[in-house]
Chain A
């Protein structure tokens, strides 16, 4: 009987050894160790043995099974390794080839600067207000202390769509609408498109501005300078300096133009800053008492500061764009250079 067991065991080991694939190996395993395999068959013959022989027989069978199980596991491991190596070799991909094309997404430089500025000023409590692009003469000029025939109107060549309606020449009308609608304290940002009859390499008939207005009980030039200095540091880096130069705007008094230290040359002087170390950014000032009064705010009780700049101009500085007309051509070779 034990010879028979040995025979089967040898036979099985031989077959296991000859298996070419793990599937074949498994089939052999079933042939010998499966439910209706050779060992199950041989166990059936146990009933023909005497009760003395039975334990020994059982033991032998079990020993043989353990041997075969071991052999199976070893062989299976070998085959699996071999198979996986073959699979790996056959599945080699040239990963230097491109993946499927994904459509490119980019933000327009105007949005990049606009949103960045909004984010900066939002942290100081400012929130966005929008206004119409076709404005009444009153909101674009008169409420801003620019009466009809005032020489300051010549500073801005205006597009007219009707006798009393213009394409807004600045975002400042947003200030007026807000002061009419809301009670102070007011902290707002007014971004958007503006229009002027002007067109060359550095002027476009439509461009974008962003401006901020803060109205409270006590507002000073120091608050104005501090706020702009914060914005400039956030926009251009923490060591950026801010400079005020006296200027004139009909709707502010005092008025100041503001510059930032040139971020390209650290104020050593370069082409970007015209070798002055400073870059002109925008205009600012304390809201003129007449403007507050015209918007229904008592200048004896409330004061305001306002500042703004051209977004294209800021983009020119930030991204080094040399022709302002590129902003509205939507040439992909231009757009492709901006982040999403």
Chain B
């Protein structure tokens, strides 16, 4: 909220802070009202003064430019080149002298323009930042005092602070309220400004004879006040009022409307002015809406009620949505001369509900939802009347309404000094405590460190002892709170297992040369049609549906659903990197994916991996396909968990992967995810300039039973023996089938088997390949004899050749 210091000065003497607003800002921030910015309008117009053109001549070298001799008083004359056309000798103008910094950080310097010296600039409203468009430079009235600083001439010698008022401090949503807070914190007295002005009221006549009032719903509207005013002349507001409204960011409309806004910014109480002509039956009723009732707001929006809204009605129809917005039917018009001014207390929850239901946010509604001061309702109404009387020629009628049906009370709070001391961690001085609580506006009674406190009505946020603890703490200064560390009496518990396992996953993957990535958990549904989930993932052990969770209110179209895979996001990262000339990388992300099942939201923990391109390398000339590089990294990662795994190829291949370069990982027999090369069509679509591989696994399945400690196997005392075997087989046969067969037959002496060479070409047929395997035999109890090895080796060869129909090379 914006606060003008000059305005504030109406209620409390803070004129000294105009010169040092930072000091006030510090006081406010320390007491819990954070000052977000300080706007010093005068500062923006330093070295900008009122001047007069003595002589307007032509620039010798430029037809479009004029050469002016301008005085800024006391006989000082500046030569200024000006490109405008609307100025003449004798005009009073706004002169920015060297040193001035105009909006947009435009610094004025002495310079030469087309060879002629120019020491300043004649300004337009746009250049000064006070209007959105202007025709030529600003010409001031004849009586503008030459030499006067422009800011002072315009009345810009104010300081405006932007204050962050937290939702609990509705009492500070006005200048008066803030003055009251400053009075409490600084012990400066509030003056009698409000009272003095109300004394100027000269009522005549009887409001209650002009209009009838009925509150049918006092639980929602405990207090309603109003007065009738006639003889009003609608017109523009006086400039001081306009300026004040503008200084706090409000637009001036007309005197009566401006006054209702002014009083709201002054006293914190929203008001509404009805055109009396339009009040049918001269009757105001406060009651709930009817179901399906239509209502058109001031700005012409039509709303449909559902019976929960509180309405202000006349004899026939709704004329306002209570506390939020007036009706189009009864607003102030240019020819309005009689008005009914409303000032009321509407319950916060009632206004909140309506405001939320219809999505209407107004300054008025903002204040009611945070609770206004019930005691200010009548005062604010009278203040508005007085201003209308003084500024719009209105005649205010007496016998104003003040229906206060349901009295609002503040509950008494019991608080002990011990409680306050215990919560703050330091001993609270009783005298200081009582003093601060009183300065807050509370009544306090009791003794021996036990008190009954009744907070003022404008502090409806103070409800329990803990609220008083905070009030005392902030007023006494948060810097008074000492620092202590609580004793650790009970043993700490263990971290959530997912956190510890996550650390292990990250460490193992970094060990494999991956960089950790983090992606938004929402993705683009259109992108998912190209690179996204499909039912084929079920075979891979990933519970991924084609219908991801939609956000009801996405921030943008390209973040409209929750992801249910990580790999597509990583592919986006790869594209992003390629587009910026980064041609290789290895990324991993461990994170959550989302799906819905029977109304439950499930968040499986996944690991996504992406690998693309290679850095130029002096040593490694051989180009290993990305998918194999990724595979070996994945295998090393899996070995970190010490469990057995294998790869196979299921029937269905996810649509964004290469159908001939995709495999499924099985971990201890269960499908846990996929690895594959990005589909060539996508490679072309996304202009990927290097081989790119993706993988994704369910970490929940991979890490089941972890952490697990593997017992160490004794080292064999006997040497192991290696034998190589090569088989000729169809080119498309998977090596794994041979490995499986070798392992089956080789038990128990076979320790390991691994393919180490693949050969195509002569003398083999084009449809054939030869794969060489290294078999390692080991007997834990004796040295293997040549005979024994030959025996088992031939058994393996026979079995493989027979079962798979292939031959030894």
> Measuring CB to CB, which residues of chain A are less than 8 angstroms from any residue of chain B?
97-108, 110-111, 115, 118, 122, 124-130, 132-134, 149-152, 154-155, 159-162, 165, 167, 182, 185, 187-188, 191, 193, 195, 197-199, 204-206, 214, 216, 218-223, 225-227, 229-230, 242-248, 250, 253-256, 286, 288-289, 303, 327-333, 335-336, 340
Contacts and interface: CB of A to CB of B under 8 A. Distances in A.
Contacts of B591: 193
Given A245-B478, A286-B466, A187 B492 contact: yes
Contacts of A248: 32, 166-169
Contacts of B464: 253, 289
Contacts of B486: 214, 216, 219, 223, 226-227
Contacts of A154: 167
A205 B518 contact: no
B585 interface: yes
Contacts of A155: 167
B478 A335 contact: no
B444 to A, nearest CB: 19
Nearest to B370: A151
A193 B521 contact: yes
A187 B486 CA distance: 11
Interface stretch (B3-11, B429-437, B572-580, B750-758): B572-580
A250 B481 CA distance: 21
A105 B467 CA distance: 50
B496 interface: yes
Contacts of A107: 506, 510, 516
A150 B481 CA distance: 30
Interface in B337-374: 349, 352-353, 356, 369-370
Contacts of A303: 423
A218 B422 contact: yes
Contact of B473 (A105, A195, A246): A246
Interface string B629-640: 000000000000
Nearest to B31: A246
Nearest to B594: A134
A125 B353 contact: no
Interface string B368-389: 0110000000000000000000
B490 A185 contact: yes
B515 A104 contact: yes
A165 B426 CA distance: 42
Given A159-B553, A254-B474, A286-B466, A122 B492 contact: yes
B618 to A, nearest CB: 6
B553 A333 contact: no
A254 B34 CA distance: 16
Contacts of B356: 149
B228 interface: no
6 contacts: A151-B369, A159-B551, A165-B601, A220-B425, A222-B426, A250-B167
B478 A129 contact: no
B518 A226 contact: no
Contact of B559 (A111, A205, A255, A329): A205
A219 B487 CA distance: 10
Contact of B479 (A199, A219, A220, A244): A244
B354 to A, nearest CB: 9
Interface string B488-515: 1111111110110001001001111111
Contacts of B517: 108, 330, 335
B651 interface: no
A206 B520 contact: yes
Given A102-B513, A133-B521, A247-B32, A111 B506 contact: yes
Interface string B718-754: 0000000000000000000000000000000000000
Contacts of A288: 466
Given A124-B488, A160-B551, A327 B518 contact: yes
B106 interface: no
- Return the 10 tightest CB-CB contacts between A and B, nearest first: A222-B425, A103-B513, A246-B32, A220-B425, A254-B470, A248-B166, A246-B474, A105-B510, A226-B483, A244-B478
Contacts of B511: 105
A100 to B, nearest CB: 4
A265 B471 CA distance: 33
Contacts of A108: 515-518
B534 interface: no
Interface string B536-549: 00000000000001
Interface in B28-45: 29-32, 34
Given A124-B485, A286-B466, 16 more contacts: A97-B618, A126-B492, A127-B495, A149-B369, A159-B554, A160-B552, A204-B520, A221-B473, A225-B425, A230-B485, A246-B31, A246-B473, A248-B169, A253-B470, A254-B470, A289-B466
B423 A220 contact: yes
A229 B483 CA distance: 7
A211 to B, nearest CB: 14
A253 B481 contact: no
B489 A222 contact: no
B614 A134 contact: no
A109 to B, nearest CB: 9
B615 A101 contact: yes
Contacts of A100: 617-620
Given A101-B615, A289-B466, A161 B562 contact: yes
B551 A161 contact: yes
Contact of B499 (A130, A246, A247): A130
Name which of A103, A159, A229, A245 has the most chain B CB atoms within 10 A of its CB: A103
Nearest to B601: A134
B522 A245 contact: no
Name which of B353, B482, B493, B594 has the most chain A CB atoms within 10 A of its CB: B493
Name which of B352, B486, B496, B592 has the most chain A CB atoms within 10 A of its CB: B486
Nearest to B591: A193
Contacts of A222: 424-426, 481-484
Contacts of A167: 521, 551
A192 to B, nearest CB: 9
Contacts of A111: 506, 516
